[in-house]
Structure 1
C-alpha cells in the first residue's frame, strides 16, 4: 500500500483547529539533510555482509529539544510517461526481491535529542539465509516533531485558536550489499521532441546489474559542426527501469543545421558520494539527429 501524505483538518470540542504539516524529502539529497531542525547524516547508509551494521548521526542545532522517531518503509524512484520522478513509500504488498524491509533494525527507534545535542542511531541487518549476491534496499524514515504553535484568529461570533503541529519526515536510503556486486545500465530508448524554444530529450534506461546504478545523465544540443548549443545534466539513481527527461534550450548564435543531441550516461564523477561507497559500472552514449 502506498503512503499518501495529506493535511487533515478538523475542529475539536474546544473549538481548536489543528493542522498537521508533513514534508517528505526524497530526491537528490545532500551529504546531510535538515529535518525540522534536525541534521541527518549521512544521506545514504551502506551496510555489507561483513559487519551487517551501520550508523546514522542526528544533530539538533536548535535551542529546544526535538522528539524524533525512526521507522522503515520501501520506496525507490519511479517515473511516469513524462519523465517525472516520484518516490512512494510502501509498508505492505512489496514484491521486489531487493527489498530489505523487515530485516533491518534500528536502535533506538524513539529518542529525544536535547538542545544543541546529537544522537547516534545504529542499524543491524538480519538478512535471510541464502541471500543472492547484490544490493537490497529500505528507507529509513526519520520523523521530527516541532512544538505546537498557537495562532489566535478572531471572528465576529467566536474565538478560534489555530494550532500548528508540524511533523517533518525524510526518507534516507539504506543499502545492504552482499557478494559480487555488478553495476550495469542499458539504454532502452531515446526520443526527442522539438518545441519552439527548446528540445525535450526522453531517455529510457534499464538497470541490468544487481545494485543501484548511481551516476550522471548528460545531454548536449549540437550543431552540424559539433559546436555545443546548450547542455544539461542530472543526477541519476537507477534502481529499476526509469524514464528521465532533460530540456535543452535553443541558444542564439551562428549555429549550422542540422542539429543533433548527444546523450551520455556514466557513474563516474559523482563528487557527492564517497568513492568507497560507489559501485562502478559501464558507460553509455548515443546521438540522435533532429528532423526538420
Structure 2
C-alpha cells in the first residue's frame, strides 16, 4: 500500500512501515506559517559590537506546538541551469566563514501554548583573532504539526500507525567583525532567445568579505532601443553563483539587446543599517 503525505510517498507493506520521508519546507518571508508557527525576523545580524540577538516564534493556532531550535550551516548553491537551492549541514563543515560551532540558541526546545509566543536568544562566542568579514550560520526551526493516522494494510492485520508531521524552516544568521567589504564580479553573461522568451544566464563571484545582497534587473530592448519587457530577481551571493532570469518577448518585435544592472538598491526586506554598500554592475549584451 502507498499513501501520500506532504507530497512524498510512504510505502506500507504487511503492516510494517518500510520508509517515511517527511517533506521540509523552507520559507523566507515574515508572516508565513511554518507548521502553524510564525518566525521573525528572517535574518539575524550579530557583530563584534553586539554578540547577542533574538528572534520570536509565535503559535497562532489553538493547539500547543513543540518547537526545536538548532544551528546548522548552509549557503545558496546553484546548478548549471541557474536553479538555486539551500543544503543544510549539521557536521563536517570546513568553510572558514562558518559560525555554526560558536553560535548558540536558548532555549533549544520549547512547547509554545496556543496563541502564545517564545523569544529565542542567540549568542556568539567567536574564536580569538577572527579575520575581518562576515560569518554565517542557519538557525533551523522545526515544529510538530500534529499526528496523522496511517491506514491499516488490510482488515486482517488490524495495524494502525500514527506519524508526526515535522516541518522545518531556516533563518539566516550573519556575524560581522572588523572592516567589511562588499564587492561582486560579473564573470560571464549570455542572453539567448528560446521559444517565446529570452533567457539570461549570469555567473557571479563574490570578491568581498561579506555576502553581496542586492537585486539583478534586466531590460529587453528591440533594435530601436525601445523596451520590450523587464524583470528582476533578488540576489544573495556568498561565494560564486549562477542566476537566471527570463524576459518576455512581444510578437512583431525582434529582441535585440539586454541591459543588465546589479546593485544593492531595492532590498526593502533588509533594514538600511544592516546593508553593506557594494559596487554597482552595468552590462549590455546582444541576444543570440
Provide TM-score, normalisation by structure 1.
0.89
Q: Which residue of 2 aligns with 1:168?
A: 167
- Tell me what 2:3 maps to: none
Q: Which residue of 2 aligns with 1:23?
A: 24
CA distance in 1, matches of 2:125, 2:255: 57
Matches within 5 A, 1:47-62: 47-62=46-61
Q: What residue in structure 2 maps to residue 287 of structure 1?
A: 284
> Runs of 5+ in structure 2 lacking a partner?
1-6
The alpha-carbon deviation at position 96 of structure 1 amounts to 1.4
1:264 match: 261
After superposition, the Cα gap between the structure-2 partners of 1:63 and 1:219, relative to the gap in structure 1 and judged at 3 Å, is: same
Distance 1:159 1:241, change over 3 A: same
User: For the Cα contact (< 8 Å) 2:228–2:255, is it kept in 1?
Assistant: no
Output the CA distance in 2 between the equivalents of 1:183 and 1:104. Answer: 23
Return the alpha-carbon distance in structure 2 between the equivalents of residues 18 and 188 of structure 1.
44
CA distance in 2, matches of 1:135, 1:104: 14
Counterpart in 2 of 1:79? 78
Pair 1:105 & 2:104 matched: yes
Query: In 2 relative to 1, CA 280–104 (structure 1 residues): closer, same or farther, beyond 3 Å?
Result: same
Quote the Cα distance in structure 1 between the aligned partners of 2:161 and 2:199.
45
Check whether the contact 1:72–1:139 (CA below 8 A) recurs between aligned residues: yes
SS of the residue 1:34 aligns to: coil
Q: Structure 1 unaligned runs (5+)?
A: 1-5
Instruction: Report what 1:3 is aligned to.
Output: none
Q: Equivalent of 1:274, from 261, 271, 278? A: 271
SS at match of 1:89: coil
Cα 1:12–1:72 change in 2 (3 A) is: farther
Q: The residue matched to 2:23 in structure 1 has which SS?
A: strand
Give TM-score scaled by structure 2 length: 0.90
Q: Is the 8 A contact 1:152 1:159 kept in 2?
A: no
Match of 2:40 in 1: 41
| Equivalent in the alignment of 1:114 | 113
What is the DSSP-based 3-state SS (H/G/I as helix, E as strand, rest coil) of the residue aligned with 1:143? strand
Partner-residue secondary structure (3-state), 2:273: helix
Contact 1:17–1:162 (Cα < 8 Å) also in 2: no
**Number of aligned residues:** 282
Q: Deviations over 1:94-140 (max 9, x none)?
A: 22111101000111001110110000000000001001111100000
